[in-house]
A and B are shown apart, each in its own frame.
Chain A
């Protein structure tokens, strides 16, 4: 590896101040520190240091996302061939999926990192690794047929308005990936609803290839159709039939994940593998995940008790395995920058997040992705939760003073 290091060192002068390429110092620096952990030694404080850094932390999250990414890629193909009633093998399905997913990843990273590099160069600091995760999360929460230009606009919005205006990685108030999704949801509502969840479903329909009964709607999209209707009506019963055993959105299928939905959100199993990676390494907060889950189940249970419409009667376990609940719980709510930062605060934050996710999706069918709204809302509330947790600590200390 000495050879590689010598090579990097030999081109370094061109990028340093006064060199021809000094404008691209940030790019060079990030590539250099990517390949070689720099030989910086401790200058103050502890002489020995842990090997953990932000690169490794972020990379662990990416590793945790791989199962969801691979499954999502396969699922695109699977959904496509199922919608037109064709048999296909694993490779064909993966190929269709890869054709859809890779451009999304390229656009997401390209636009996001481009903006990050610009801001890093302008502010004269190194590249923060935060976008490595955001850039992977964004494709996974997109519908498969979303136009690439829309993704590019959404990423740019999320990185600039969601993050850089606050000062960059570590300073943002709301989750960057969810900001991009919310941006699309509100800026392009027409394009973000309807026939985009299964690859080419619109043209398949046009060409009359679509298998009967296949609408390409997601589980939440279907359930939204039941709200405001009497439970016993035949139309509602047909929809609820999809969620019964053997239906398209049966508990079994929702857990496996071979249903339409955003690319990475469908498979509960793949997401839980990621959760195991995050929890065992301690990089994702178990507190947040567990309390988020508890909050979701609790709200689902309350809705069961109310039972005012068909959506409410769905079993709590079924509620949490559809839509983006699981994905949001494992990968979005646990974002340490935007979540509550105190241990007690994390429990409150997670519980309310899960609670609101289920509440929003049922009460307001116009926002089927309740989890997105709930997490963004809780992101904004997190500092307030922390404030009260800290205040309790401060009060304890002041009480001690009075007792003397």
Chain B
């Protein structure tokens, strides 16, 4: 019998261009990339040079602070380019795939007969460890920590997200194997899996504590699930990972090969054929989706790796992010909007708003919205109160926490519960903010400052 938990606060933003239930396999991309900035909190040290031959599973770079955490190549090929940004920061390591994919063999590991250390060292070696994140701070986990528990969200509730049943089709034994391995890594509280009440795909998974979540986004965020099952206190560490990564982890242990399969939901108003696409982590966008030159509103098209609420803006020549299982194509909104037609004083029929001064709340819930990337106003000081609370299902005062982050008051941040949160949990607060405060950016800065402060 699984526990049931209802999340009342939050909202589902139904964007047009939702991916259809069909899955197609993407043609193998010619170039893949591993992007260090995807792995928050990591300082990359390269172990390859341009021109080096790599196998799928060869170490590309490791974390300077914890060298055992290796980031490996998704395919076999040649290191084509090391893209650097300001201050020579490594932005991406591009690998040109060879025709035959050669896998580095890590050897088969029987999870049931192995102990914690054997599993951990195989996960590290096999390149799956970087997919494990930790709370507090929402950064890549440290293998030396012993986590209180491991939390896996079995569904993604954000707009245009992939569906669990499609993404894990035919992969249930890998998923179960992954959970079994995690159960050995987790502390006494074990593995917690949050599933959607309307989707029974993962209901039969064993060796973990299952909680059934009902309610709108952000109920699929692991942080929200964590808060409602076993809230995190100061001094505790938990690990979190995505459900597709659990299956990949299980597959890596049972096959000895690193194959970072991703079923990516490709959608958005500017996407011609919204669907699920099966590919590998780090695949080039061009191999997954055809990006139109101009959007339907005549503006350019924004390519988002990840959810429209939390993802990264990338160019159409870029690569899928390591933690992303969605690509959204939205229209940019750089055309100024006249006040009476579509601006601030207009009726606002085209705007999906959390505020009732727009007619959104009177429209049918099934309506799909075609939203662009316009800010919808300018940044201001905090004026309105009680707005974030409506879409923030935690026993935390979001606006007060953000204010303590703005003034960098470490003591208040701790007291107000910053250890439990990640930027993604604030995405809806940021969406509906009247004052257009860059909330997710602030939370990230707050977490980073706190992490530096604590050493």
- Choose, from B38-46, B257-265, B335-343, the stretch at the interface: B335-343
Proximity bits, A372-404, B CB within 8 Å = 1, else 0 = 000000000000001000100110110011001
Complexed CA–CA distance, A209 and B231 (Å)? 75
Partner of A36, one of B311, B343, B371: B343
Contact residues on B (Cβ < 8 Å of other chain), bracket: 35 or more
CB pair B383–A46 under 8 Å, yes or no, is: no
Proximity bits, A250-291, B CB within 8 Å = 1, else 0 = 000000000000000000000000000000111101010000
CB pair B354–A52 under 8 Å, yes or no, is: yes
Q: In the complex, what residues of B have CB within 8 A of residue A126's CB?
A: 378
- Choose, from B106-114, B125-133, B436-444, the stretch at the interface: B436-444
A11: CB under 8 A from chain B? no
Complexed CA–CA distance, A28 and B414 (Å)? 43
Name the distance in Å between A385's Cβ and chain B's nearest Cβ.
Answer: 13
A interface SS class: loop
B interface SS class: loop
A309: CB under 8 A from chain B? no
With contact pairs A56-B345, A60-B357 given, residues A50 and B352 touching in the complex (Cβ less than 8 Å): yes
- Choose, from B175-183, B279-287, B326-334, the stretch at the interface: B326-334
- Choose, from B83-91, B93-101, B245-253, B425-433, the stretch at the interface: B425-433
Complexed CA–CA distance, A59 and B347 (Å)? 13
With contact pairs A49-B436, A50-B433 given, residues A41 and B375 touching in the complex (Cβ less than 8 Å): yes
CB pair B386–A285 under 8 Å, yes or no, is: yes
> In this complex, what residue of B is CB-closest to A40?
B375
A149: CB under 8 A from chain B? no
CB pair B338–A56 under 8 Å, yes or no, is: no
Name the distance in Å between A125's Cβ and chain B's nearest Cβ.
Answer: 9
With contact pairs A51-B348, A51-B358, A283-B357 given, residues A46 and B310 touching in the complex (Cβ less than 8 Å): yes
Query: 8 Å CB contacts to A: which residues of B295-316?
Result: 302, 304, 308-311, 313
CB pair A341–B345 under 8 Å, yes or no, is: no
Complexed CA–CA distance, A5 and B433 (Å)? 27
Q: In the complex, what residues of A have CB within 8 A of residue B328's CB?
A: 47
Name the distance in Å between B345's Cβ and chain A's nearest Cβ.
Answer: 6
> In this complex, what residue of A is CB-closest to B371?
A48
Q: In the complex, what residues of A have CB within 8 A of residue B342's CB?
A: 37
- Choose, from A74-82, A168-176, A178-186, A297-305, the stretch at the interface: A168-176
CB pair A281–B356 under 8 Å, yes or no, is: yes
Name the distance in Å between B268's Cβ and chain A's nearest Cβ.
Answer: 10
Most chain-B CB neighbours within 10 Å: which of A35, A37, A50?
Answer: A50
B376: CB under 8 A from chain A? yes
Q: In the complex, what residues of B have CB within 8 A of residue A53's CB?
A: 344, 376-378, 380, 434, 436
B121: CB under 8 A from chain A? no
B255: CB under 8 A from chain A? no
CB pair A59–B344 under 8 Å, yes or no, is: yes
Q: In the complex, what residues of B have CB within 8 A of residue A404's CB?
A: 233, 236
CB pair A394–B431 under 8 Å, yes or no, is: no
With contact pairs A38-B378, A40-B378 given, residues A46 and B386 touching in the complex (Cβ less than 8 Å): no
- Choose, from B23-31, B66-74, B391-399, the stretch at the interface: B391-399
With contact pairs A45-B440, A50-B355 given, residues A341 and B399 touching in the complex (Cβ less than 8 Å): yes
> In this complex, what residue of A is CB-closest to B419?
A397
With contact pairs A51-B358, A56-B357, A283-B357 given, residues A40 and B374 touching in the complex (Cβ less than 8 Å): yes
Partner of A47, one of B309, B339, B438: B309
Complexed CA–CA distance, A280 and B355 (Å)? 10
Name the distance in Å between B392's Cβ and chain A's nearest Cβ.
Answer: 12
Q: In the complex, what residues of A have CB within 8 A of residue B374's CB?
A: 37, 39-42, 49
CB pair B377–A47 under 8 Å, yes or no, is: no
Q: In the complex, what residues of A have CB within 8 A of residue B378's CB?
A: 33, 38, 40, 53-54, 126
Q: In the complex, what residues of A have CB within 8 A of residue B236's CB?
A: 404
CB pair B441–A52 under 8 Å, yes or no, is: no
Of the A-B pairs whose beta carbons lie under 8 Å apart in the complex, a sample of 11, sorted by A's number, is: A34-B339, A37-B339, A37-B343, A38-B378, A39-B335, A41-B373, A52-B357, A54-B383, A56-B355, A57-B383, A397-B417
Chain B residues packing against A (C-beta within 8 Å): 13, 15, 231, 233-236, 302, 304, 308-311, 313, 328, 330, 332-339, 341-345, 348, 351-358, 371-378, 380-386, 389, 395-397, 399-400, 415-417, 423, 427, 430-436, 438-441
The 3 A-B residue pairs with the shortest CB-CB distance, nearest first, are A53-B377, A170-B381, A51-B351
Chain A residues packing against B (C-beta within 8 Å): 1, 4-5, 33-57, 59-60, 126, 128-130, 167-171, 280-283, 285, 287, 336-337, 339, 341-343, 346, 386, 390, 393-394, 396-397, 400-401, 404
Contacts A54-B380, A342-B385, A400-B233 aside, 12 further interface pairs with beta carbons under 8 A come to A43-B438, A45-B310, A45-B430, A45-B439, A47-B304, A47-B309, A51-B348, A56-B355, A283-B357, A336-B385, A341-B386, A397-B415
